[in-house]
């Protein structure tokens, strides 16, 4: 009887483990630009800022914090977590992955986005904490910063200390976001 119970528990554990792994794979697969060309900015010109000027800050100043003070956190204190503590994970527990464990990619209930490099390899994770803040993690799941919404199409990236890095995300009007450096040049990185 004891062996039967242990065998049953072992089978249940294996089933749960493989089910969890397959569920994570299915979730990732929905976001994988290597598997879905609609998500791949190098194959889909609609979501590539080099091909689509409406999502390129060099041409669309509405999403360019260098040219537009309304989306620049140095000029607009409402979108600066140094001034607006509601947007700062160090001051707002709802945004802090050290407090809100559901924001962590390792959480069984995590449902977020993935950061990819220019070769469509996964670099990290992005969790939506609120409609105005997304929390960023590296590939190992370590918190490395956060994105603050500047307008309906873009987010500025801050390090964990709340300092703007100059980098920003621009919505690709379809599948996710493209990441730009502080000069407004697309890094090739994208979030899906």
CA distance 101 to 124: 17
Main-chain dihedrals φ then ψ at residue 144, nearest 5 degrees = -125, 5
Q: What is the value of pTM for the model shown?
A: 0.85
Q: Give Cα separations from 163 to 21, 22, 89 (angstroms).
A: 36, 38, 12
155 in Cβ contact with 149 (< 8 Å): yes
Tell me the longest C-alpha to C-alpha distance in the chain.
Answer: 74
Asked whether the predicted pLDDT for residue 27 surpasses 80, the reply is: no
DSSP secondary structure letters along 68-101: -GGG-TTT-GGG-TTT-GGG-TTT-GGG-TTT-G
pLDDT at 9: 36
176, 159 Cβ separation under 8 angstroms:
no
Average pLDDT for the chain: 88
For position 53, what pLDDT does the model report?
97
At 175 the pLDDT is 82
The span from the CA of 181 to the CA of 177, in Å, is 13
**Token pair of 160 as six digits:** 């964990």
Q: What is the pLDDT of residues 119-167, one digit of tens each?
A: 999 999 999 999 999 999 999 999 999 999 999 999 999 999 999 999 9
Nearest to 136 by CA among 174, 177, 108, 175: 177
pLDDT band per the 50, 70, 90 thresholds, residue 108: very high
Map out the domains of the chain as residue ranges: 31-191
């Amino acid at each position: 009887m004891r062996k039967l119970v242990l065998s049953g528990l072992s089978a249940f554990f294996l089933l749960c483990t493989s089910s969890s792994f397959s569920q994570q794979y299915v979730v990732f697969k929905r976001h994988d630009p290597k598997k879905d060309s609609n998500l791949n900015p190098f194959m889909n010109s609609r979501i590539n800022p080099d091909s689509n000027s409406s999502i390129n800050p060099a041409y669309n100043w509405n999403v360019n914090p260098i040219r537009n003070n309304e989306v620049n956190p140095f000029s607009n204190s409402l979108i600066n977590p140094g001034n607006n503590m509601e947007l700062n994970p160090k001051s707002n527990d709802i945004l802090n992955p050290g407090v809100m464990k559901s924001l962590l990619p390792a959480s069984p209930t995590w449902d977020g986005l993935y950061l990819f490099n220019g070769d469509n390899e996964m670099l990290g994770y992005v969790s939506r904490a609120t409609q105005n803040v997304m929390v960023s993690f590296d590939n190992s799941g370590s918190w490395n910063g956060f994105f603050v919404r500047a307008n309906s199409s873009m987010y500025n990236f801050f390090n964990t200390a709340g300092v703007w890095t100059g980098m920003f995300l621009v919505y690709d009007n379809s599948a996710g976001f493209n990441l730009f450096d502080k000069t407004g040049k697309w890094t090739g990185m994208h979030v899906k």
